[in-house]
Amino acid sequence: MPLYLDDAVPPPMPRAFLDVLLDGYTSFGDEAVNPAMVIGLLRERLLPLLPDVHKSLFDLRGQTSWDSLWILYANLATASGGTDKQLGASAAVVSIFVRHTTRPPREVEFPAHLELASFARMADVLGLPKAHPHVGAQEVATPLYAFCRYCWLPQRSRGVCENHSTNSTSR
């Protein structure tokens, strides 16, 4: 998908940072935008606007993805502390590139269980079967990756393990 700036409402920021958005809009045109294109433009146009001490934030590991760009946004916003105008504007530019390269705008949701989301991502990378593997006897087969919401024991029903269940017969 191309960059849809007509949907974006950038916060007040210095003109140089708005120019980065406009440069992206004109250079990408109607072609589909991918994360590698975005990080290339950000390194070329946005990085020179920042002090040297913060340039290491753009050193992303591995293949650039929308998630890694969202982490870059979070790192820039955190580094700004809400007071540094340049870093705040940089974070806003990255956010616009991440959200507005699809229509409707991409919504970034934070997982309820960060550890499980990280595990699921690693399972995808390693090619592990994470969709619905079950362990145990056929009558009491338990989903392998379904954990209790209060601990790391296997989930039995309604998101809880036997220890946290109010059903005394399950014990």
Residue among 144, 133, 50 at smallest CA distance from 58 = 50
Under 8 Å between Cβ of 43 and 58: yes
Residue among 84, 62, 57 at smallest CA distance from 73 = 57
* Cα–chain center distance at 20: 22
**What pLDDT score was predicted for residue 132?**
56
Residues 6+ apart with CB under 8 A from 147: 113, 116, 153, 154, 155, 161
Each residue's pLDDT expressed in tens, for the chain with a length of 171 residues: 676 666 666 777 888 888 888 888 888 878 888 888 888 989 999 989 888 888 888 887 778 888 888 888 888 888 888 788 888 899 889 988 888 777 666 676 666 666 767 777 777 777 776 655 555 555 555 566 677 888 878 777 778 888 888 876 655
